[in-house]
Structure 1
């Protein structure tokens, strides 16, 4: 009998989020990451706040330090720099701690780097969802776009291609977007743009738009839906184009934009945002600076079925390039790697 190396069981990968709200992109990514890691490494989901009832059945544990219910060893992946672990972090022995930096708030990132160093003595591994964020933070780390499962959105694109030729559609040309239902997710000038589009006979559908009701309620052609009113792939199947821009903050990445691209939709978006690193202007989407540029791009898409088709197809191919199986496997290799972490100096 020959002696050989004893196989080492993979340690648990703990995914920490804030599952107190539904429809947040950071937590959706953690759920997708768990699915991608299934069968390859033990994974547990944790929340630093009480878990929303909508996540019932997902196996998410709320951290309860005084009951000793918190992750203790293996690897910890924190799904956002908005998370601030409490005193429990001092009683852990992780081999790696990874932070996904996915919001445009560098003060929170610096705070979490310092608190983790002090509590564990470990050097954080930083993952930025876009080059925009890494340049803003001026810290070393990896750039890994938000992980996501494109399958349901690619199915929408396939159904769109199988439908009648993309000329003048029977229903009104429909523009829409998806986001959480908060005013900060919308630009102050969005209301006037939506009114202009509706006045031309276009249909506007906003999922996550009930917060806009004081300015748009009752306007013919504009439909304001609460967040999660429809499955996102089904919602995208009802659109001909997506318009996206935000208000008080810069979108760090914007996974809903990439999901729309995977669904074969042409996207018109504000040029400042992490998604802008993926969109080639005039080819796989349109990056705009002003209200007039946004209106003109959407008008051009309404008037040209060929432009919609060519842009939508290029958008789908770009989404696959960034988030398809090959790219996903490369990024998962980083998350699943085992080994000792660097010690903070």
Structure 2
């Protein structure tokens, strides 16, 4: 009888139930659990929802930290300490999902020195890898698309054309020009729903046709079911991947998105969505979709097919081998 596989330790910052990196870890843990022991760790005291999912805080003085096995750090923002020298892992994996080359190189040196292992780098997108020019693998974010694939592709034609977006409720997740764009769209009769938009309440509160919701106000699948298209771009930093874009595609929605996010690996411009670089391009793309329901239907179907091709069960099975060897 062969010896049981050593554990897979997934270390993140589980203080917010809506951050993409930690949602990625939870989904990876779910998929691996049947084949390898998995333990979830947080470098800070975890949010109570995460604690209910089995996430434990790293507490060195209580001898509670990863030991042996495969150690995965989910991002260069994750804080380590002297406990790292006592892990003695078989392998070390570092997820690069935030655009911070200096912190990446520092993290690589720290992991080499503290663990004696050469870190294997997992990049959230091709653009993230190209920006630093290091070897590694590109791995799309782990997603469970089942709830989104059940949304009907055919949207009702009895409601106003409705666009929306979903993100954490922080101003940095929004582009500086978004407020003006939403106002222009609402003035033309387009309904705008923003989940994670309470941070825009100052300039947009009370504007007819614009609904600002806090993050998590609705189930993601129900929210996407209320939309006819998704518009997504960010402000100060580009999304390393942007899993919400892929979820919208799986929901059968055409996506108009800024051209600089990691989701460009999956979104095919002109087929499953539209990539834009300027305010004028964003306005034109959204108004074109508003005027052509047939195009919305066609693009939404292509978006769903593409999301399944990149994140479906067949694609996921091939990626799992990296964590099981």
Q: Name the TM tier (shorter chain).
A: over 0.9
Q: How does 1:215-254 map to 2 (within 5 A)?
A: 215-254=203-242
Partner of 2:48: 53
Say yes or no: does 1:275 pair with 2:263: yes
Whole-angstrom CA distance in 1 between matches of 2:203 and 2:96: 34
Give the superposition deviation at 1:172.
Answer: 1.1
Say yes or no: does 1:114 pair with 2:102: no
Query: Contact 1:146/1:253 (CA < 8 Å) preserved in 2?
Result: yes
Say yes or no: does 1:79 pair with 2:74: yes
Say yes or no: does 1:160 pair with 2:148: no
Deviations 1:18-40 (A, max 9, x none): 00112000000111011111211
Whole-angstrom CA distance in 1 between matches of 2:71 and 2:233: 33
Bigger Cα Rg: 1
Give the superposition deviation at 1:215.
Answer: 0.9
TM-score (normalised: structure 1): 0.92
Whole-angstrom CA distance in 2 between matches of 1:106 and 1:262: 31
Q: 2:135 aligns with which of 140, 154, 174?
A: 140
Say yes or no: does 1:321 pair with 2:309: yes
Query: Contact 2:153/2:297 (CA < 8 Å) preserved in 1?
Result: no
Say how many residue pairs are matched.
325
Structure 1, unmatched stretches of 5+, are 1-5, 338-345
Give the superposition deviation at 1:176.
Answer: 0.5
Query: Contact 2:70/2:89 (CA < 8 Å) preserved in 1?
Result: yes
Whole-angstrom CA distance in 2 between matches of 1:200 and 1:233: 27
Secondary structure at 1:15 match in 2: strand
Secondary structure at 1:306 match in 2: helix
Query: Contact 1:84/1:112 (CA < 8 Å) preserved in 2?
Result: no
Give the superposition deviation at 1:114.
Answer: 1.0
Structure 2, unmatched stretches of 5+, are none
Whole-angstrom CA distance in 2 between matches of 1:215 and 1:112: 40
Partner of 1:92: 87
Q: How does 1:28-47 map to 2 (within 5 A)?
A: 28-47=23-42
Cα RMSD after superposing both structures: 1.1
Whole-angstrom CA distance in 2 between matches of 1:327 and 1:228: 28
Say yes or no: does 1:298 pair with 2:286: yes
Secondary structure at 1:55 match in 2: helix
Partner of 1:342: none
Partner of 2:277: 289
Secondary structure at 1:243 match in 2: strand
Between 207-216 and 272-281, the greater mean CA deviation after superposition: 272-281
Partner of 2:20: 25
Whole-angstrom CA distance in 2 between matches of 1:8 and 1:289: 54
Q: 2:323 aligns with which of 318, 332, 335?
A: 335
